[in-house]
A and B are shown apart, each in its own frame.
Chain A
Amino acid sequence: MPTVSKIVNNTLNETNREPMIQLDSISVRYNLPTERIGSFKEYAIRLIQRKLKFKSFWALNDINLTVYKGEVFGIIGANGAGKSTMLKIISKVMHPTKGRVRVWGHIAPLLELGAGFHPELTGRENIFLNGALLGYSREQMEAVFDDIVSFSELNNFIEAPIRTYSSGMYARLGFAVATAHQPEILIVDEILSVGDEAFQKKCNDRMTEFRENGATVLMVSHSMDVILSMCNRVAWLDRGKLMAIGPADQVVAQYREGKP
Chain B
Amino acid sequence: MAYSILTTMVKFPTVDKRNLFENNKPLYDSSKRISPAIGELKEIGRYRHLLAQLIRRDILTRYKRSFLGVAWTMLNPLGTMLVMTIVFAKLFRADMGEIPFSVYILSGLIVWNFFSQGTNAAMSGLVWGGNLLQRIYVPRTIFALSAIGTATVNILLSIIPLFIVMLITRAKFYLSLLFLPVPIFLLICFTLGFGLVISSLAVFFPDVSEMYQILLVAWMYLTPIIYPETIISESMMVFYKLNPMYWMVKIFRIPILNGVLPSWADMGISAAIAFGTLIIGWFFFTSKSDEYAYRV
Could you say which of B65, B135, B137 has the most chain A C-beta atoms within 10 Å of its C-beta?
A: B135
Contacts of B264 in A (CB 8 A): none
Q: CB within 8 Å of A: which of B117-161?
A: 131-138
A95 within 8 A of B: yes
Nearest-neighbour CB distance to chain B for A130, whole angstroms, equals 9
Contact indicator A95/B49 (Cβ below 8 Å): no
Secondary structure dominating the interface of B: helix
B182 within 8 A of A: no
Bound Cα distance A89, B294 (Å):
12
Bound Cα distance A143, B21 (Å):
33
A-B residue pair count with CB separations less than 8 angstroms: 111
Contact indicator B133/A19 (Cβ below 8 Å): no
B46 within 8 A of A: yes
Contact indicator B24/A104 (Cβ below 8 Å): yes
Within 8 Å by CB of B18, from A22, A105, A136, lies A22
A102 within 8 A of B: yes
Interface residues in B, total, Cβ within 8 A? 38
Contact indicator B53/A38 (Cβ below 8 Å): no
- A interface bracket (residues with beta carbon within 8 Å of B): 35 or more
CB contact under 8 A between A136 and B136, given known A94-B290, A102-B30, A120-B61: no
Stretch from A121-129, A147-155, A247-255 contacting the other chain: A121-129
Within 8 Å by CB of B134, from A39, A88, A95, A133, lies A88
Contact indicator A93/B134 (Cβ below 8 Å): yes
Contacts of A95 in B (CB 8 A): 30, 290
Q: Can you list 23 A-B pairs with a CB-CB distance of less than 8 A?
A: A14-B17, A19-B18, A38-B206, A39-B207, A92-B28, A93-B293, A95-B290, A100-B31, A101-B28, A102-B26, A104-B27, A109-B135, A111-B135, A116-B136, A129-B57, A132-B49, A132-B53, A132-B54, A133-B50, A135-B46, A135-B49, A138-B49, A138-B52
Residues in A lying within 8 Å of B, measured CB to CB? 14, 17-19, 22, 30-31, 38-40, 43, 66, 88-89, 91-96, 99-106, 109, 111-112, 115-116, 118, 120-121, 125, 128-129, 132-138, 161
